Amino acid sequence: MLHFYSGKKQGEKSVLSQESSTGETRKTLPRMVSHSELRKLFCSADAVCFDVDSTVIREEGIDELAKFCGVEAAVSEMTRRAMGGAVPFKAALTERLALIQPSREQVQRLIAEHPPHLTPGIRELVSRLQERNVQVFLISGGFRSIVEHVASKLNIPSTNVFANRLKFYFNGEYAGFDEMQPTAESGGKGKVIKLLKEKFQFQKIVMIGDGITDMEACPPADVFIGFGGNVIRQQVKDNAEWYITDFVELLGELEE
């Protein structure tokens, strides 16, 4: 498997390492990836996968749920550490949900009373991609009930949603989350993209997102586009070969 080394800024060389069957790591020859090549890959993609929190929507869903349940401060700090790659994703998710303890009713009320806000330009971008017969997927470490609500606003079928499932007892109290979902662990987004390639024979998949977990999904994604329109993660900004702060830029690429 190819692993991203210290990524370079747009138009610079990418250095990749390859792990052999013996566990040794050897460097492959650096390959120049120009911005024009990245643009061509984006415009000819079979599928585009979006992260959701702080990318497709302006908020971090788990932070909004924590705010709704009265434990915002502690959970926001955990989210910041998790998105920066400081804590394994599943451990951070377990820890945060143990603090929030959301009931089914609280999740439903959050969606009804404080629905997530779409990031400017995302509706138009998704619509344009769909007009070009590009498959659009939402791959999120957030919660399926919230992500499906977002998907419905963008005319993305629920079958194209990959996210974590909350579990509840019969009385509606929090009972944990489905740890078997690939999105529940570090590297999960890459596993989903690998699955999509195997299932649909996609040749070119683009991953777009704001966080480390999104950047780590390339490879197996063929292109990663870092998004900083809602929040800038410095490590992503420094290492993404293509970094944008407005979806208008991608819409412009499709119109050319």
Q: Which positions are catalytic?
A: 51, 53
Q: What values do phi and psi take at 227, rounded to 5?
A: -120, 125
**Residue from 213, 192, 190, 193 nearest 202 by CA:** 193
* Residue with token string 């979902």: 181
* DSSP 3-state of 162: strand
Dihedral angle sign, alpha carbons of residues 59, 168, 186, 196? negative
Residue whose structure tokens are 């705010």: 67
Residue 57 DSSP label: B
Can you say whether the dihedral through the CA atoms of 6, 219, 137, 195 is positive or negative?
Answer: negative
CB atoms within 10 A of CB 111: 19
Q: Quick one: tokens of 109? A: 């009320």
